Structure 1
Amino acid sequence: MFWKKNRQETKAVSENENSLYPVLHVMGSLKDYHKEMVQKEVDSLWELNEIGRSFGGVVKEAEDFQVKLLEFGENFSSIEQVSGEFITVKDTISQSVARAQGGVEELKNSSEQVADYFSEMEHTFEDLQKAVEKIKQCTDKIVSIADQTNILAINASIEAARAGEQGKGFAVVAVEVKKLADEIKNLTREVDSGIQDVEQGTDQLSSSITTSQSALGESLDKVQETYNMFDEITQSAEGAATVHTEISGVIDQSKSALQVLCGFFDQIKMQYQEVMSHINKAGRLGTTKSTMFEDIDNMLSQIPPIVKDFNSRNKG
C-alpha cells in the first residue's frame, strides 16, 4: 500500500512537471521573441537615427541652397541699384544734351542771321557794282566830251591863227579850253584807275562773300547734323530708360519668385522640425520600451528558478 502511495506521489510529481513544461516552453519562446523584438527595436531606433541624420543633411543642403538664393536676391538688388544709377546718369545726359541743344539752336539762329547779313551784303555789292558801272559809263561820256572839247579847242586855235591879231584873245581861250579838256581827261583816267581798284576789291570781296556763304552753309549743315545727333542721343537715353523699366520688372518678378522659394524652404524647415520632433519622440518611446523590455527580460529570467524551486519542493 505504501508502494502504491509512493507510486501515486511520484506520478503526481511527474504530472506537475509535465504540467509546468508548457509554461517553460512558452517562456522560452517568449524570451526568444523578446530578444527578436529587442533587436528589431534597436534596428528601428538605428534606422530612425539614420533617417534623422539623412533628413538633417537634406535640410542642410536646402539651407545652403536658400543662402545661395538669398545671395542671388542680393545680386538682383545690386543690379537694380546699378540700373537705377544708370537712370540718374541718363537724366544727367539728357540735361546736358538739352543744354547743348539749346546752345546749338542759338548757334544755328546766329549762323542764319549771319547768312542773312551775307545775303544783304551780296545785294549791296551788286548795287555797288551797278553804280560803279554807271560811273564808268559817265566817265566814258566825260572823256568823249573832253575829246570833243579838245578837238573844238584845236579848231578854235586854227581859226584864231587865221584871224590874226583879232583872234589872239580867242586863241588864248582855246588854249585854256584845251588845258581844261586835258585836265578833265587826266582826272577821268584817275577816276578809271580808282574804279578799277574798286572793281578788283569788290570782285575779291564778292568772292570772299561767296566762299564765306558756302562755308557758312556747310557750318549750318553740320550744326543741323549735330542737333539731330543730340536728338538721337536723347532717344537712345529714353530707350535705355525703357530697358531699365523692363529690367526692374523682371527683377521684381524674380524677387517675388525667390521669396516664394524661400518661403517654401521655411516650410521645409518647419516640417523638418516636426519630423525631428516625431523622431525624437519615437526615440524616447524606444528608450521607454527598452526599459520595459529589460523588465520583461528580468521577469522572464525569474520564471525558470521559480519553476525549479516549485519542482524541488514537490519532489521533497
Structure 2
Amino acid sequence: MRRAGYQQLFDGTGVPTFILDADGVIIEWNNALADLTGVSREDALGHEHASEHFYPDGRRADTLADKVLQEPERAHLEFGVEQRDPSCNRYGDTSTMVDRHGDEKHIDFSATPLYDGDELIGVIEVVVDQTEIVTERDRTADLVTEITATADEISGGDLTARAHHDDAFAVLDDDLLAVIDAVNDMANSLETLTGRVTAQTSEMQASVDETSAAADEIAGNVAEQHDLLEDAVGEMQSFAAGMEEVAAQADEVDTAASAAQTAVSEGLEAGDDAREATADVVAIGDDLLEHVEALGSKMDEIEQVVDVIADVADETNLLALNANIEAARAGESGDGFAVVANHVKDLADETQSHTDDITASLEALHAQSETTTATVERSHERIEQADARLEDVHGSLAVIDDSVDEAASGISEVARVIDDQSASVEELTATIETVRDRSEESEAAADRIVGATDQQEQTIDGLVARVEELQTDTE
C-alpha cells in the first residue's frame, strides 16, 4: 500500500521525472516522462543508460543526473552546468531532443542528489518541456526584430514599410500580435497624412507656379496693355476722323440705294409690260396654230376633189377611146365624131397631167404644212417657257424690290447711327487716355506681385524637397 501510494503521487505531479540509484540505474520513471519520450515505465526501469531513452538514435551520453552522481558537490565546476541551489546542490542544464512524434523539444533539466544521512543513494532529475516557452520567446524576439526593422525603415523615410504577420507568430499572445496592427495602423496613418501633405504640397506648388506664371504674365500683359493703350489713343483719333468720312460715304450710299430702289421699280414695270407682250404672242401663236391646222383640213378636201377629177379624166379617156372605136365602125360618117373624140381624149390626157401636177403640189404643200405645224407647236412651247421665266423674273424683281426697300431703310439707319457713334468715339478716346494713365500704376503693382510670388515659390520648393525625402506608395 505504501509503495502504491508513492507511485500514484510520483505520477500525479504531472512533471516528467526519473530517479537513478547510486549506480546510475533507473529506478523510477513517471507517466509524464513516458508521454514525452514514448518509453514506458516498464521499459525504462532497470536501464543503465537513461540517455538512450531521450535520443532516438540510441546514442549513449551522460545525463545531468549521471554528472551529478559523479560529482554531487562539484558538478558545476567539473561539467560546466548551472548550480541553481547550492543549499541542496541542485543543478540545471538545457538541451534539445526529438520526441516520439519526431518533433524537436527544448528541454530544461534539473537534477538533485539524494542522501540517506551522509550516504549518496541516488539522484532525482526533473525534465521540463520548455518548447512552448522557448518557441514563444524566439517568436517574441522575431516579432520585436520585425517591428524594430519596420520602425527603422519608417524612420528612414520609407513610409511603405509594414510589419508582416508571420505564421510562426500564431503562438504569441493576441496582445503581442496587436502590436503589429498598431504599428501598421500608425504607418498607414503616417503614409496617409504624408500623402495628403504631398498632395497638398504639390497642389500648393502648382498653385504657386501658376500664380508666379500668372504674375509674370500679368506684368507682361500690363506692359503690353500700356503700349496698346498708347497705340489705341492714336488709333481712336484716326478712327474718329475715319468715322466722319464714313458718315459722308453713308450719305452717298443712302442716295445710291434710293436710285437702286427707283431702278428696281422701273424693272418691275418693264417686267409687267414684257409679260403682257408675251401673253399677246402666246395668243397669236395659238391663232396661227389653229389656222395651220385649218389649212391642213382644206388641203385634205382639195385632195379629195382632185381624186374625183382624176377619176373623171380616166372615165373621159375611156369614153373617148370607145368613141374612136365606134367612129371607125361608122366609116366616113363617123370621121367628124372621131375628130371630136380625139379632141376629148387630148383634153382628158391634159386634165390627167394637170391633176397629177396638182396632186404632187398638194403633197408637197401638205408636207410643208406639217412642218409648219410642228414649228408653230415648238414656238408655242418656247413662248410658254419664256412666259414662265418672265413670271419667275417678275417674282425675283418683287423680292429684290422688297430687299432694296429694306436695305435703303437700313442704310438710312446706319447713317444715323454712324453720326451718333462719331460722338461716342470722342468720349471713348478720352476714356482710353484715362485708362492709359491707370495702367502705369498697374504695372508697378504687377512688379510687386512678381517679387512676392518669387519669394513664395522659394519657400514651397524647400517644403517640396523635404516631403520628397519620404517614400510612399504614390511614388
Q: TM-score, normalised by structure 2?
A: 0.37
Question: Which residue number corresponds to residue 330 of structure 2?
Answer: 163
Kindly provide the CA deviation profile for residues 230-260 of structure 1, in whole angstroms up to 9, marking residues without a partner as x.
2222222112123224435644665676788
Q: How far, CA to CA, are the matches of 2:237 and 2:414 in structure 1?
A: 19
Q: What is residue 238 of structure 1 aligned with on the other side? A: 405
**Partners of 1:160 and 1:68 in 2: CA distance:** 128
Q: What does 1:74-85 correspond to in 2, within 5 Å?
A: 75-85=242-252
Question: Where does residue 107 of structure 1 map in the other structure?
Answer: 274
Q: Deviations over 1:155-187 (max 9, x none)?
A: 222233333333333222222222111111111
Amino acid in structure 2 at the alignment position of 1:181: A
In 2: Cα distance, 1:165 partner to 1:65 partner? 137
Aligned to 2:262: 95
Structure 1 counterpart of 2:369, one-letter code: T
* 3-state SS of 1:92 partner: helix
Distance 2:270 2:402 in 1: 19
Q: How many Å apart are 1:148 and its aligned residue?
A: 1.4
Counterpart code for 1:128: L
Counterpart code for 1:84 = D
Aligned to 1:188: 355
Q: 3-state DSSP class of the match of 2:250?
A: helix
1:146 aligns with 2:313: yes
For residue 120 of structure 1, report the CA deviation from its aligned partner: 1.8
Equivalent position of 2:225 in the other structure = none
* Distance across 1 between alignment mates of 2:373 and 2:315: 37
Q: 1:199 to 1:259 in 2, by over 3 A?
A: same
Hey, what does 1:300 align to over in structure 2? Answer: none
* Counterpart residue type for residue 391 of structure 2: Q
Measured against aligned partners, the alpha-carbon deviations of 1:112-162 in whole angstroms (never above 9, x if no partner) come to 323322222222211211111111111001011111112222222223333
Structure with greater proportional helix content: 1
Higher relative contact order (CA 8 A, sep 6+): 1
**Shift in Å, 1:189:** 0.9
Instruction: Give the structure with higher Rg (CA).
Output: 2
Equivalent in the alignment of 1:201: 368
Instruction: In structure 1, give the amino acid aligned to 2:290.
Output: H
Kept after mapping to 1: 8 A contact 2:258/2:408:
no
Q: Output the CA distance in 2 between the equivalents of 1:65 and 1:196.
A: 92
Q: Tell me by how many angstroms 1:87 deviates.
A: 1.7
Task: Give CA deviations for 1:44-70 in whole Å, capped at 9, x if unaligned.
Answer: xxxxxxxxxxxxxxxxxxxx9999877
Name the stretch that deviates more: 254-263 or 164-173.
Answer: 254-263
Q: Are positions 1:217 and 2:384 aligned together?
A: yes
Structure 2, gaps ≥5 residues long:
1-230, 435-475
Q: Structure 1: any 5+ residue segments left out of the alignment?
A: 1-63, 269-316
Distance 2:338 2:233 in 1: 132
Distance in structure 2 (CA, Å) of the matches to 1:181 and 1:261: 113
2:353 & 2:232 partners in 1: Cα distance? Answer: 111
The C-alpha deviation readout for 1:255-300, integer Å capped at 9, x for no partner, is 67678889999xx9xxxxxxxxxxxxxxxxxxxxxxxxxxxxxxxx
Q: Supply the distance in 2 between the matched residues of 1:153 and 1:262 (Cα, whole angstroms).
A: 123
Q: How does 1:282-301 map to 2 (within 5 A)?
A: none
Measured in 2, the distance between the counterparts of 1:245 and 1:93 equals: 14
CA separation of 1:151 and 1:245: change in aligned 2, threshold 3 A: same
Find the partner of 2:340 among 155, 165, 173.
173
Q: Distance in 2 between matches of 1:217 and 1:151?
A: 57
Q: Which stretch of the first structure deviates more once superposed, 160-169 or 124-133?
A: 160-169
Distance 1:246 1:99 in 2: 25
State the identity %. Answer: 26
Corresponding residue for residue 297 of structure 2: 130
1:249/1:89 CA distance change after superposition, 3 Å: closer
Asked whether the 8 Å contact 2:243–2:422 carries over to 1, the reply is yes
Aligned AA for 1:190? D
Could you say which residue in structure 1 is the equivalent of 2:53?
A: none
For 2:299 and 2:378, locate their aligned partners in 1 and report how far apart those are by CA, in whole Å: 23
Structure with bigger strand share is: 2
| Paired position in structure 2 for 1:313 | none
Q: Give the count of matched residue pairs.
A: 205
Matches of 1:224 and 1:202 in 2, distance apart? 32
Does structure 1 retain, via aligned residues, the 8 Å contact 2:278–2:383? yes
| TM alignment of 1:5-154, pairs within 5 A | 75-154=242-321
1:41 maps to none
User: TM-score, normalising length from structure 1?
Assistant: 0.54
Instruction: Name which of structure 1's ranges 157-166 and 250-259 shifts more when overlaid on structure 2.
Output: 250-259
